[in-house]
Amino acid sequence: MASGAYVATPLGRARASALEGKTVIVVGAGVSGLGAARSLANQGATVIVVEGRDRLGGRLYTDWSLGAPFEDGAGWVHGPSDDNPAKRLTDAVGAEYVVTDNDNLVVFGPDGYELDEDRQSEVDDTWYDLIERIDENLELSDTRSLIDAIRYFDSSAAADPGVLWAFSAYTEFSKGGPIENLSAVYFNRDGVFPGDDVVVTTGYDKLLGPLSEGLDIRLSTKVTGITYGGDGVTVTTDKGPVTGDFVICSVPLGVLKKNVIAFDPPLPASYQKSIDKVGFGSVTKLALKFEEPFWDTDVQYFGMMTEPKGRWNYWLNYRTFCDENILLGLSVGAHSPVVDQMTDEEMKADGLAVLRNVWEDDVGEPIAMRATHWYVDPLSYGAYAFPTPGSYPSDYDGLAQPVENRLVLCGEHTIFEYAGTIHGAYLSGLRAAEMVIEEAE
Ligand SMILES: Cc1cc2nc3c(=O)[nH]c(=O)nc-3n(C[C@H](O)[C@H](O)[C@H](O)COP(=O)(O)OP(=O)(O)OC[C@H]3O[C@@H](n4cnc5c(N)ncnc54)[C@H](O)[C@@H]3O)c2cc1C
């Protein structure tokens, strides 16, 4: 498929002439940055993409070292309907999918024994019921955390290890932040596309090919400063300055929070306030590959009620979609930053301890592993944005407004409706490209 198929709006003469002779610098070659770059290049701009890593994709990267796709970052196409732009991007590269079934789940209690069906239903129903009560009863101006709201509506549920497990394994995973620091009123107000989630068995990051084809992309080039104003923009990098007419900055919220890039002039106070307010958590993935399976290979997910909350509490069984004996564990919430700071060996031991609580001596030594450390990754400093108590959707989308007619931010953290997703990142990139065109016209 021609790259032009990705352009959100038709190429009009006025737009082409607005961009003619203009140079746009895009900082970051993740899905949002590449989406913006592709769109602008297709509409006639000269585009230079500057990327700190030695590869494309940012938080979208498929590793094949285990013999099956291990997605360091995004793993699922959420809501893979035809309206979902991420699905359109993967379809365009001939991706193959497997639907994952959230109900194909077995949960083990703190003692390592499987929950019976009644207890499992009780846990799920209480989790669901609490979310409904919070949604129906709290005003959007409420600044409570999710855990405070749970305590308010059902104090016994807040002390139930099963219910806490469900809020961690389901909610902390999907939102990327701990329930102690998630907004009770905004944690589930984002938009979704219909359809059961799928994994891409041919590798999610293949979608980067058409997005990046033919672009001037400068890898292994870290940006330390962005100067913007009347005359244009200068992007300072460790390989020297790059100048242009406009700059789109797609670095993750974690990077903005750490002030890695010096903006001159500084970002407006309202932007800085939103950068501080919106949360940026972590999610850790640990894949352990074994010679032989010791688990029921027909079960797609295993839940583990672990201590502390968030510790390897949800595992995906690769045998449900490929021949490799791989279990992929997730640490989420407040525990993810803890394990992200471990060495791979320490992380492996921590994950194995959780598996041995259930399968005891049947758990052999893994023959291979892969682990992620997003929290300490200096080009991300976390996994994805989440709403903290007292933050608002406008804190996300306000960040996407052009500054001084020269600078536009994009990335999953700038689009509340689809934050924390590939489709959100992509749409934010297309929107940034549109804003540059408007400024150029
Ligand atoms: C563990 C995990 C699981 C996820 N699961 C899913 C999922 O299942 N489904 C889903 O849809 N989404 C998921 N996501 C979210 C999805 O991956 C992100 O929303 C999306 O990839 C973000 O794209 P982006 O362009 O906004 O940011 P990024 O992909 O992070 O791109 C930003 C780029 O900026 C670069 N950069 C940073 N600092 C500098 C600098 N100083 N100089 C130059 N370059 C710099 C980075 O290297 C990076 O390439 C997950 C993310 C993680 C981490």
Both tokens of 176, joined, read 């990327």
Instruction: Report the Cα–Cα distance between both ends of the chain, in Å, rounded.
Output: 29
Task: Answer whether 78 contacts ligand 1 (Cβ < 6 A).
Answer: yes
Q: In what order do the strands lie in the sheet with 223-229?
A: 240-244, 232-237, 223-229, 262-264
Task: Answer whether 29 contacts ligand 1 (Cβ < 6 A).
Answer: yes
Do you find a cis peptide bond into 308, omega within 30 degrees of 0? yes
* DSSP code string of 230-272: TTEEEEEETTEEEEESEEEE---HHHHHTT-SEEESPPPHHHH
Of the CA atoms within 13 Å of residue 217, those in its CB half-sphere come to: 25
Ligand 1 centre from 363 Cα, in Å? Answer: 33
* DSSP label at residue 169: I
Both tokens of 57, joined, read 């994709």
Residue nearest to atom 49 of ligand 1 (CA): 58
Task: Answer whether 383 contacts ligand 1 (Cβ < 6 A).
Answer: yes
Residue nearest to atom 41 of ligand 1 (CA): 223
Task: Answer whether 74 contacts ligand 1 (Cβ < 6 A).
Answer: yes
Instruction: Give the chain's count of helices (H) and strands (E).
Output: 14, 22
**Nearest atom (ligand 1) to Cα of 423:** 11
pLDDT, position 230: 87
Task: Please report, for the chain, the start and end positions of each structural domain, with discontinuous segments joined by +.
Answer: 3-58+204-277+390-440, 103-195+282-383
Domain with residues 103-195+282-383, CATH architecture? Alpha-Beta Complex (3.90)
pLDDT, position 12: 53
**CA separation for the pair 21, 427 (Å, rounded):** 25
Q: Is 339 annotated as a binding residue?
A: no
Indicate the residue type of 213: E
**CA separation for the pair 143, 94 (Å, rounded):** 45
Of the CA atoms within 13 Å of residue 400, those in its CB half-sphere come to: 27
51-61 pLDDT, tens digit each: 999 999 999 99
Instruction: Give the Cα-Cα-Cα angle 410, 414, 416 (nearest 5 degrees).
Output: 150
Task: Answer whether 287 contacts ligand 1 (Cβ < 6 A).
Answer: no
Do you find a cis peptide bond into 393, omega within 30 degrees of 0? no
Ligand 1 centre from 162 Cα, in Å? Answer: 31
Beta strand residue intervals within 310-425, DSSP E? 314-317, 326-331, 368-371, 385-386, 407-409
Ligand 1 centre from 379 Cα, in Å? Answer: 9
**CA separation for the pair 278, 276 (Å, rounded):** 6
pLDDT, position 5: 37
**Nearest atom (ligand 1) to Cα of 422:** 11
| Cβ 34 vs Cβ 429: under 8 Å | yes
**Nearest atom (ligand 1) to Cα of 29:** 49
CB atoms within 10 A of CB 48: 21
Task: Answer whether 15 contacts ligand 1 (Cβ < 6 A).
Answer: no
Domain 3-58+204-277+390-440 matches domain 103-195+282-383 at the CATH topology level = no
**CA separation for the pair 372, 364 (Å, rounded):** 22
Closest by CA position to 106, among listed 379, 316, 351, 413 = 316
**CA separation for the pair 165, 309 (Å, rounded):** 7
* DSSP code string of 107-133: EE-TTSPBPPHHHHHHHHHHHHHHHHH
Ligand 1 centre from 377 Cα, in Å? Answer: 11
Element (H, E) at 356: helix 344-359
Tens digit of pLDDT at every position of the chain (441 positions) = 333 333 444 445 566 678 999 999 999 999 999 999 999 999 999 999 999 999 999 999 999 999 999 999 999 999 999 999 999 999 999 999 999 999 999 999 999 999 999 999 999 999 999 999 999 999 999 999 999 999 999 999 999 999 999 999 999 999 999 999 999 999 999 999 999 999 999 999 999 999 999 999 999 999 999 999 988 999 999 999 999 999 999 999 999 999 999 999 999 999 999 999 999 999 999 999 999 999 999 999 999 999 999 999 999 999 999 999 999 999 999 999 999 999 999 999 999 999 999 999 999 999 999 999 999 999 999 999 999 999 999 999 999 999 999 999 999 999 999 999 999 999 999 999 999 999 998
For 140-145, the CB contacts below 8 A with 24+ separation are 140/185, 140/186, 141/185, 142/184, 142/185, 143/183, 143/389, 143/390, 144/183, 144/184, 144/185, 144/389, 145/179, 145/180, 145/181, 145/182, 145/183, 145/184, 145/389
Residue nearest to atom 43 of ligand 1 (CA): 52
Ligand 1 centre from 109 Cα, in Å? Answer: 34
Please say whether the dihedral angle defined by the alpha carbons of residues 136, 140, 146 and 147, taken in this order, is positive or negative. Answer: negative
pLDDT, position 13: 56
Q: What is the dihedral of CA 248, 249, 253, 257, to 10 degrees?
A: -130
Q: Which residues pair with 48 in a beta bridge?
A: 25, 216
Task: Answer whether 373 contacts ligand 1 (Cβ < 6 A).
Answer: no
Ligand 1 centre from 120 Cα, in Å? Answer: 34
Both tokens of 410, joined, read 């994009």
CB atoms within 10 A of CB 288: 25
Region of 356 (left: φ > 0; alpha: ψ -120 to 50; beta: rest) is alpha
pLDDT, position 1: 32
Q: In CATH, which of 3.50.50.60, 3.30.390.30, 3.90.226.10, 3.40.50.10070 is domain 3-58+204-277+390-440?
A: 3.50.50.60
The residue whose CB lies within 8 Å of the most ligand 1 atoms, and thus the one to mutate among 384, 423, 428, is: 384
Largest CA distance in the chain: 69
Ligand 1 centre from 140 Cα, in Å? Answer: 29
**Nearest atom (ligand 1) to Cα of 34:** 25
Q: Is 32 annotated as a binding residue?
A: yes
**CA separation for the pair 130, 276 (Å, rounded):** 29
Residue nearest to atom 26 of ligand 1 (CA): 411
Residue nearest to atom 31 of ligand 1 (CA): 30
**CA separation for the pair 423, 419 (Å, rounded):** 9
